[in-house]
Structure 1
C-alpha cells in the first residue's frame, strides 16, 4: 500500500491535529485528534483505501441530499479498521509488516485512528471505551496473525502527551 499522497489532501496533511504514521513509504495509521476542526468535508484517506475516513463539519440548516449507496462488487484484500475513543487513554503500538516494533502513540477521549496496514497492539492506560469499525464480512480468526507484543516501560508512557512518539525505529515517520 502506498503512503498517503499529499495531492488532494494538502490542507489536512499539514494540520497539527492529524498525523500519518508510516514506514518506508507505507501508511500504517492515521490519527485524528479530538481538537481537529475544519469546515465542510475533509477526506483523510486516498480513494484507493478499502476503508474511507472523512470529517464533516456543517452549520445548522445545512441540508445533505437524501441518497443511497448502490450495491457494487468490491474486492477487499486486507482489513483496515477505525477506532473512536469515547473515554480513557489507550496506547497504540505500531509494528512493521515484518512484525518489528516501530513506535507508539497515546490516544485520548475523542481521538480517532485509522489502522491501515502493518501490525498494531494496544494497552489500556486508563479505563477506556471505544468503538471499532471495520469492513465485513467477518472471516473469523483467519483474518489475524497474532504475535508477541513489545513490552514498553510504563513510566515513559505515562509522561508523554498527545502524539508524542515513545520510540521510533529507522524508516518511521
Structure 2
C-alpha cells in the first residue's frame, strides 16, 4: 500500500488514513472503498481494540472456536464507529485539547478513535454503530471540554 503525507503528521491514501499528532496516533479511518485480499490488521499489537479487514472466498470454512479467558488491563478507552448512513464530521484534538484537524465520514466508513480528544457534528441524518470496551461508567469514563484554538 502506498501512503502519502498529506499534511503535517497525517498519513493517508484514498482508502486508509492514519491521523497522527505529535507522534501520537489519534485515529485510523478505513474508507468504505478499502479492499485487500486476506486478513489485514490495521492496529498495533499493544492497542486494546484490534481492527482488521478480512476477505474470504465463498466456501471457505473458519473452524468453530471459543475464545479463552485472558485477563487484560485496559488503560484507555478506544472506540470504533461504523457509519451506516449519513455524514458525520469528526474533529480531532491533541492531548493539550487544542484542535488538530477534521475529517468527514460517510456510509461504510469505519474509524478507530485511539487517543486524544474528539467531537462530532452530524452533517446529514446519521446512523452508526459504536464499539468500545465496557462497561461504560458514565462521567467517570470521559471528560468533556471546550476546544482550544
Q: Answer yes or no: same fold by TM over 0.5.
A: yes
Aligned equivalents of 1:85, 1:58: Cα separation in 2: 23
Q: Per residue, is there more strand in 1 or in 2?
A: 2
Q: CA deviation at 1:138?
A: 1.9
User: SS of the residue aligned with 2:126?
Assistant: strand
The equivalent position to 1:79 in structure 2, one of 77, 81, 97, is 77
Distance 1:135 1:13 in 2: 30
> 3-state DSSP class of the match of 2:48?
coil
Residues 1:136 and 2:125 are matched in the alignment: no
- Residues 12/30 of structure 1: CA separation in 2 closer, same or farther (3 Å cut): farther
Partner Cα distance (2:90, 2:135) in 1? 25
The match for 2:54 is: 56
CA distance in 2, matches of 1:89, 1:137: 28
Aligned length: 141
Q: TM-score scaled to structure 1, two decimals?
A: 0.77
Gaps of at least 5 residues in structure 2 are 5-12
Name the CA distance, whole Å, in 1 between partners of 2:3 and 2:68.
30
The 4+ residue runs of structure 1 with deviation greater than 4 A are 12-15
1:12/1:40 CA distance change after superposition, 3 Å = farther
Output the CA distance in 2 between the equivalents of 1:148 and 1:44: 31
